[in-house]
Amino acid sequence: MTEWQAHGESDPGIDPDIRLQQIRETFVDDVLRGLVWLALCILAVSFWRNFLGPSSLRWPAAFAMVAVSTASLCTLFVRRKHLSYRFKATGLLCVLFLTATGGLVSFGQAAPTGNFFAMGFFVSAVLFARHTVFMLIGGTALVIACAAFAALSGLHTVPINLNAVAMQPVVWVNLMLTLALSAGAIATAMGSFMRAMQSLLEDVHRQQTEIKAQRDQIRHLATHDNLTGLPIMRLAVDRSHQAMAHARHSGQKIAFMFLDLDGFKEVNDRHGHEAGDRVLQTVAERLKSAVRSADTAARIGGDEFVVILSDLSHAHFAGDVAEKILRAIGAPIAYDGHALSVGASIGIAIFPDHAEDLEGLKRVADRAMYAVKTSGKNRYQFAQPSALPIQLQA
């Protein structure tokens, strides 16, 4: 037994289905505990009536029925830790309905058995499926109909004087005890059950929230770079296709930039990989700050990045953004008392001016970027037909 079970609670760390089973089992145990006290009180009153009270109130058959019901409930309660939940629940319902049926058949409408029928319906509604409850209701209605027919047709009569019974104060005390203890047993068990169910629902909701967050994180990791947090090429490709589709519809342009860092290898070799990581993270932050929220900056590997600018009315806006990126990246990066410096070579392709598909944009932007690399670095270059001379932009 765990510490949680010892206190009548369910361990929040286990499977919700197992916790629900534990909650229902605790509910059965709580109902059994209350019914044992109820049965012992009824047994005491029945014992007095049959052995110490007036002879007109004695009815050995009724006492035997109460004694058997009490013994059954006590046995279930004492052996509860060694019995399965299903066996205890079924046994509890059998005792309730057999006791109620025996009282109804014996005393007719004068029997206070409605409490036991009601408790049986309530417990079955908590523990069993709806069709089981309907079967119990139908069976109870049939039993009541048979008892009524037997009483009305004279086939069965009560062997004691009910008027004499009603004149005994102990009978009314017994009725009040029955009502109070049965209501108390159900209220106590149901209170614990509702608190446990509320705790379970809160834990399930928390687990669902955590699972959703984990799934979102997995999806994010599948499309974003772990080091910089930028999208990777796969997501950049998807956004490029979306931007081109929108541009075809709106008549606007998009810019596809290839960006390769200048001087990154020297920083990495001189100051180590941690310094290189700091540079990449800082460059990523500066790229995100240099573009609009609707644009995309992505890391495609090593010290290479792409930037997709959407909804451009003129191509020269891409040049303005490229200049902004160059200034941002060129600012010193503080690391361990050093001011690290890198630059960038940028190739720019405009859709649909330079190509009408993504592969074409990537190809001409990459060519323009390498033209910058071989002609001075730390500049940007628009893609041009290979027959025209390359014009570098400072």
Q: What is the CATH number of the domain that holds 262?
A: 3.30.70.270
CA distance 365 to 232: 18
Question: How confident is the model at residue 14, as a pLDDT?
Answer: 66
> Residues 239, 361: one domain?
yes
Same domain, 187 and 45: yes
**Section 130-152 average pLDDT:** 81
Q: Which of 176-180, 231-235, 236-240, 304-308 has the lowest mean pLDDT?
A: 176-180
Residue 393 has pLDDT above 50, yes or no: no
Long-range pairs for 134-139: beta carbons < 8 A, 24 or more residues apart: 136/93, 136/97, 139/97
Residue 229 CB contacts under 8 Å (≥ 6 apart), including other chains: 284
Q: For residue 298, what pLDDT is reported? A: 95
- Least confident segment among 85-89, 182-186, 317-321, 388-392: 388-392
Instruction: Let me know whether 299 and 161 are in one domain.
Output: no
Of 210, 242, 265, the position where a domain reaches its end is 210
Check whether 7 has a pLDDT greater than 80.
Answer: no
Given this model, what pLDDT does residue 46 score? Answer: 74
Model pLDDT, residue 110: 61
Q: Is residue 197 part of a domain?
A: yes
Cβ pair 368, 335 in contact under 8 A: no
Mean pLDDT of the chain: 82
Do 170 and 49 touch, CB atoms closer than 8 A? Answer: yes
Give the domain extent around 264: 233-382
User: In this structure, what DSSP letter does residue 231 have?
Assistant: B
Residue 392 predicted with pLDDT over 50:
no
At which of 142, 175, 210 does a domain end?
A: 210
DSSP class of residue 48 equals: I
Greatest mean pLDDT among 7-21, 31-45, 117-131, 226-240 lies in 226-240
- Number of structural domains found in the chain: 2
- pLDDT tens digits, 52-80: 766 656 666 667 777 888 888 888 888 88
Residue (of 69, 77, 66, 42) closest to 174 by Cα position: 42
In this prediction, residue 61 carries a pLDDT of: 66
Tell me the three state secondary structure of residue 332: coil
The reply to whether 219 falls in a domain is no
- Percentage of the chain lying above the pLDDT 90 cut: 34
- Tell whether 279 and 337 lie within a shared domain: yes
pTM, 2 dp? 0.55
- 321: confidence class by pLDDT, cuts 50, 70, 90: very high
Residue 386 above 70 pLDDT? no
| Residues 191 and 68 reside in one and the same domain | yes
Question: Which phi-psi region, left, alpha or beta, contains residue 301 (left: φ > 0; alpha: ψ -120 to 50)?
Answer: left
User: Are residues 362 and 240 located together in one domain of the fold?
Assistant: yes
User: What pLDDT, on the 0 to 100 scale, is given for residue 56?
Assistant: 58
180, 238: one domain: no
- On whether residue 289 sits in a domain, the answer given is yes
**Same domain as 185, residue 50:** yes
Q: Give me the mean pLDDT over the 11-29 stretch.
A: 74
Integer Cα distance of 195 and 23 in angstroms: 10
How confident is residue 3, by pLDDT bands cut at 50, 70 and 90? very low
Residue 220 covered by a domain:
no
Neighbours of 91 (CB within 10 A): 19
Residue 86 has pLDDT above 70, yes or no: yes
Answer yes or no: do 143 and 256 share one domain.
no
Is the pLDDT higher at 20 or at 322?
322
Work out the pLDDT band at 388, boundaries 50, 70, 90. very low
Q: Do 202 and 277 belong together in one domain? A: no
Section 142-148 average pLDDT: 80
- Contact between residue 156 and residue 164 where contact means Cβ atoms under 8 Å apart: no
Pick from 139-148, 158-167, 177-186, 210-219 the range whose average pLDDT is largest.
210-219
Flag whether 317 is in a domain: yes
Do both 303 and 186 map to the same domain?
no
Interstrand relation of 333-335 and 338-340 (parallel, antiparallel or unpaired):
antiparallel
- Output the pLDDT for position 364: 94
pLDDT value at residue 12: 53
Given this model, what pLDDT does residue 77 score?
Answer: 85
275, 335 Cβ separation under 8 angstroms = yes
Residues 377 and 270 occupy one common structural domain: yes
Region label for 376, one of left (φ > 0), alpha (ψ between -120 and 50) or beta (otherwise): left
Does residue 370 sit within a domain?
A: yes
Alpha helix (H) ranges present in the chain? 3-6, 16-47, 60-78, 85-107, 114-127, 130-152, 162-166, 169-223, 233-250, 264-271, 273-290, 316-330, 358-373
Residue 155 to residue 152: CA distance in whole angstroms: 8
